[in-house]
Amino acid sequence: MTRIIVFFVALLSFPFVSAMPENGDKTVSGVLLFDSSLSTGADIWQFTDTSAWKIRQDSEHGQVLILDGASTYEPAVRSPFNIAWLKSLEVDDFVLEVEAMSTSREYGHRDLCFFFGKQSDTEFYYVHIATASDPHANSIFLVNNADRVSIAEKRTEGTHWENGTFHKIRIVRKVGSGKILVYFDDMRTPVMEATDTTFTSGSIGLGSFDDVGEFRNLRIWRIKKPE
C-alpha cells in the first residue's frame, strides 16, 4: 500500500501538460495523474478475474497489461466480463491515452474495451471498439443497474484491429457538458461521440467484453478547467 501512495503522490507533482488536440484544433491542458511506464506489479489493479490477466515489464514501454484468457466473472447485468480496474484513482474531467492490441480472432464483435465513471460493479461507462457496429458493438455504452445501453450519437461503421499492431486510443471526458469523445489512431477526428451526465466521476479500467488483447503506455490526465 505504501508504494501505491508514493507512486500517486509523485505523479500528482507533475506540472500541467498538454493532453493533445481535441476535435483537431483545440488543446486540452491538464495534470498527469497516471503513467503505466512508471508502474510495477499487479497491486495497482483490481481484476474481475485475476487468472485471466498477466503483467509483463517491457524495457521500452514499462508495464504491459495482458488479457490472455476467458474470465469466469459473471456480471449481475449484461456487461463486459474481462476488466482490470485501476485502484486509488477516480477522475471527473479527463483525457485517457493508451496503446492497445487485439490478439483475438477476427469477427464482427472482436473488441477491446475502455472503462470510466465507475460507481459500482453495475454502474459505469465503457467504450467498446469492435470490427462492426450494431446495437451491442463498436459504441459508447452506459451500464446503470441494467443491461448495457448504447449512448453514442455518432460513430463509424466499424473499427479495424490490425493483427500484431498496437493502436492508439484516446478518450476525452467533460462532465459539465457530458461530452465523451473517442479517437482511434487518427487523433484529429473522433470515431465515436456521446453526451451523457449520468455519472460525473469514477474509476478507470481496461479490458474486453469477452476477447483478449494487450495494453501499454496508459496515461491519464485530469483536464484543467477554465478559471
pTM of structure: 0.88
- Going by the DSSP 8-state scheme, the letter that residue 217 receives in this structure is E
Check if the beta carbon of residue 183 is closer than 8 Å to that of residue 75: no
**Which pLDDT tens digit goes with each residue over 110-145?**
999 999 999 999 999 999 999 999 999 999 999 999
Check if the beta carbon of residue 101 is closer than 8 Å to that of residue 66: no
The torsion defined by the Cα of 183, 157, 107 and 130, in degrees rounded to 10, comes to 30
User: Looking at residue 23, what is its pLDDT?
Assistant: 42
Q: CA-to-CA distance for 21 and 112, rounded, in angstroms?
A: 23
Quick check: helix, strand or coil at residue 218? Answer: strand
Question: Any bridge partners for residue 156, and if so which?
Answer: none
Which residues in the chain come in under a pLDDT of 50?
A: 1-26, 28, 227
User: Looking at residue 17, what is its pLDDT?
Assistant: 43
User: Looking at residue 30, what is its pLDDT?
Assistant: 83
Burial pattern 175-205, b for ≥16 Cβ within 10 A else e, equals beeebbbbbbeeeeebbbbbebeebeebbbb
Q: CA torsion sign, 178 to 76 to 130 to 221?
A: positive
User: Looking at residue 150, what is its pLDDT?
Assistant: 98
Distances (CA, A) of 71 to 89, 102, 204: 24, 16, 19
User: Looking at residue 123, what is its pLDDT?
Assistant: 98
What cell does 211 get?
476477447
